[in-house]
Amino acid sequence: MAKDLPSRSEVKVEDTWKLEDMYPNKEAWEQDVAECVRIGNEIAKFEGKVCENAKTLKEVLDLDTKVDWMLTFAYDYAARLHDQDTADTEHTAMSAKIFMTYSQVGAQTSFIAPEIVDLDEEALEGFYKELPELEFYRKYIDEIRRLKAHRLSAELEKVIAMTSEMANTPSDARGMLDNADMVFPEITDANGEKSRITHGRYVRFLESADRRVRKEAFEGLYGEYKKYLNTYAALYNGQVKQQVFYAKVRKYNSTLEAAVDANNVSPKVYQILVDTVNKNLDKLHRYVKLRKKCLGLDELHMYDIYTPMIKDVAKTYTFEEAKDLVLKALAPLGEDYVAIVKKGFDERWIDVYENKGKRSGAYSAGAYGCHPYVLLNFSGSLDEVFTLAHEMGHAMHSYFSNEAQPYIYSDYTIFVAEVASTCNEMLLLDYMLKNTTDENMRFYLLNHYLDSFKGTIFRQTQFAEFEMLTNKMVEDGESLNADNLSSLYLDINKRYYGEDMISDPEIAYEWARIPHFYYNFYVYQYATSLSASVTIAQRILKEGAPMVEKYKNFLRGGCTLPPVDLLRQVDIDLETPVPIQDAFDVMSKVLDEMESMVK
């Protein structure tokens, strides 16, 4: 009989996140949503009057900041409820309601930025002198005015704001299809028992030492995606088209430029990453060749890419063991840092295990005014121990930023969002390497290190390149469909993995499985962040307290500086290839050691 997932009601309370820390009940949430509507109506009365005088400008910004915080907090609560069981219709309705409220209030407040943009510079400086309290908003106002060339009239900004709910449709529909509607087939696991493929179990199946299990899971998963490939293509085509629409309306040259400019990052950072990775594909080809040799295979297939390269070393971890490892590994960051992580473990910041309808994958979500929350689908692999360290890095970044900054300056950009998470992973890896005397375990951990480069720098840049090219196709007037998306993806996969890898036909459908393609040029930041984190972690371990304090100041920085400048505070300049190439140099040394260990 197949092993089915537990329903949400069957999960132990201690293994779930404590959402009561946000709202005691739905009624309290409803009251906040209603208050957001009231404030939105109040703000609407200021249309055409935002910059009449300094006092009015501050009053409007105070109200706008308050409603934005309340909307975000209410959204976070509904999103956590929805993600713990995507099939729960009440929580789906709550998510729909807050999206609708977001759209409504966004339309009501859309005139604020255009009116601030239109304000004369001399008049604005006069406002600061007249009302010193307005200085609090200077950086915020500067950021609004930075995008002046891409702001529209108040009337058009209102129209654009009204489209936000509609624009989420491709992503929302894909999420429901992927997490709630699709049912993957059963396979026979390594113990001879029937087990259904799920998002959470899939990678565990691919890590299996039993090649039959890996192959069946791979073919079973992508066989199911193939059935819905035209639907996925239509949804992704819709996603890219709306990105092109917004970029054109705001007078950007491309969707890429529009996406990175939102974070005050130059498109050249993106292009430098893609170019530098392509120049270093020989290292991924070396990795593939080493993996093929270690596994003793005549042909290496895509379903062989996750299983450990050394047998009889892989082990599973209980969640208690995972937490203990993470706490010990993060000790170089100081007692205060570790104490907060432990507080998160003890006070139920984390939703631990997979259940029916639960969103796949893992994430951390900061909730200003409350502690962060972490979603996992923990099943005990070494990768998932690293995922715990990764997501707690995100949580700690949010914690430090939220503690240090007022709401409007607390939300660090996605460009730096992956630095803290991958730094935690590097520290965990270093701890585990230093605390093993077993040569086979060392090889296993070095394998994991290489897998980090493969999965984060190479794989995420592969995604980034695919995203860049598909957006360019639509910008050039080409429509995306199942055939051209699959063909492009397969070609890129073959180039990245090289001649020693069999790029199975099924891997052409992998683009349909990746939710990050709906995040608007997000994934490249995983690669830039790992490159930065390798250097930061090494300096923390080498320099100790001075570097730790510099790093914590980075975590506290929020959005008080452009993200590239925030990283320059820890001596990382991603407007050059240097950090990325430095990471590849480290990868080469790891490859050298592993190749020398293979007889």
CA-to-CA separations, 366 to 37, 76, 386, 427, 521, in angstroms, rounded: 23, 8, 20, 22, 21
SS3 186: strand
Whether 335 is a known active-site residue: answer no
475 φ/ψ angles, rounded to the nearest 5 degrees: -60, -30
Report how far residue 399's alpha carbon sits from residue 401's, in angstroms, rounded to the nearest whole number: 6
Beta-strand pair 501-502/186-188: unpaired
C-alpha atoms less than 13 angstroms from C-alpha of 90 in its C-beta half-sphere: 4
CA-to-CA separations, 186 to 192, 215, 354, 514, 543, in angstroms, rounded: 12, 13, 17, 22, 51
Residue 56 token pair: 């009015």
Taking phi first (over 0 means left), then psi (-120 to 50 degrees means alpha), and beta for anything else, what does residue 593 get?
Answer: alpha
Q: Quickly count helices (H) and strands (E) in the chain.
A: 27, 7
Beta bridge partners of 205: none
Beta bridge partners of 187: 195
| Nearest in space to 219 (alpha carbons), one of 251, 186, 193, 243 | 186
Query: H-type helices in 333-454, by residue range?
Result: 335-346, 382-404, 414-417, 419-434, 439-452
| Contact (CB, 8 A) for 194 and 3 | yes
Report how far residue 449's alpha carbon sits from residue 422's, in angstroms, rounded to the nearest whole number: 12
- Non-local CB neighbours of 181 within 8 Å, separated by 6+ positions: none
- Non-local CB neighbours of 34 within 8 Å, separated by 6+ positions: none
Given the residues 391, 467, 506, 510, select the one marked as catalytic. 391
CA-to-CA separations, 199 to 5, 178, 380, in angstroms, rounded: 12, 9, 15
Give the chain's end-to-end CA distance (angstroms, integer): 43
| Nearest in space to 579 (alpha carbons), one of 543, 521, 538 | 538
> Which residues have a catalytic role annotated?
391
